[in-house]
Chains A and B, each alone.
Chain A
Amino acid sequence: GAGVSQSPRYKVAKRGQDVALRCDPISGHVSLFWYQQALGQGPEFLTYFQNEAQLDKSGLPSDRFFAERPEGSVSTLKIQRTQQEDSAVYLCASRGGHTEAFFGQGTRLTVV
């Protein structure tokens, strides 16, 4: 497709459940970012990939959060043993060179 695609759009998880969020970036984009956006807040950085290399994961809030991009294209953000504070919209963005980042529509995660 032409844009960044994220799936699922909505996910409801029971507390303690593991979830996996998928991001399909724009083809050829080297950089991929994950952001977490709580209700009424701006996006907060989680992690950054350049191709398959995870260059910065300083924003991951705990070791329950794990991201990968094994072939330098599709990325998966995994959250283990979800907790209520994990409820947020998770945004993925891709970027090619010194251009703007294109964002997906996000995955809204609700932990009940």
Chain B
Amino acid sequence: AQKVTQAQTEISVVEKEDVTLDCVYETRDTTYYLFWYKQPPSGELVFLIRRNSFDEQNEISGRYSWNFQKSTSSFNFTITASQVVDSAVYFCALIGNQFYFGTGTSLTVIP
């Protein structure tokens, strides 16, 4: 079975704080892809990152960084020096035959 768990339902931080969004997944596949998507109030899902199961190298893109640990089946997402524009719902997803989404973490950055 494929499953993605985002235990944090809502997070609020003050602007410029760092924040980490947790994602834990389950899969029996040996090859798989993990994704993070951002869903701002406009509703569109915006792609942030894709990681395949063979690449555990952490990635940094500007204020965003991702920590993929196969041993703990986690793919956590950190925003450094958060900004108000980061306020959105963030979804972690796993792809097998389809995309399996977590329930999302709603991030509010308070100015």
Contacts and interface: CB of A to CB of B under 8 A. Distances in A.
B44 to A, nearest CB: 4
Given A103-B44, A103-B45, A105-B43, A45 B98 contact: yes
The binding surface of chain A is classed by DSSP as: strand
Contacts, number: 53
Given A33-B98, A100-B50, A43 B45 contact: yes
B50 A99 contact: yes
A93 B97 CA distance: 14
B42 interface: yes
A108 B43 contact: yes
Interface string B4-33: 001000000000000000000000000001
A106 B59 CA distance: 30
A89 interface: yes
Contacts of A101: 35, 47, 95, 99
A102 B102 CA distance: 17
A106 B99 contact: no
Interface string A40-64: 0111110010000001100100000
B103 interface: yes
A45 B100 contact: yes
Interface in B63-111: 91, 95, 97-104
Contacts of A67: none
A32 to B, nearest CB: 11
Contacts of A105: 42-44
Contact of A100 (B35, B43, B91, B100): B35
Which one of B46, B99, B102 has the greatest number of beta carbons of chain A within 10 Å?
B99
A1 to B, nearest CB: 14
A98 B33 contact: yes
Interface of B: 6, 33, 35, 37, 42-47, 50, 52, 91, 95, 97-104
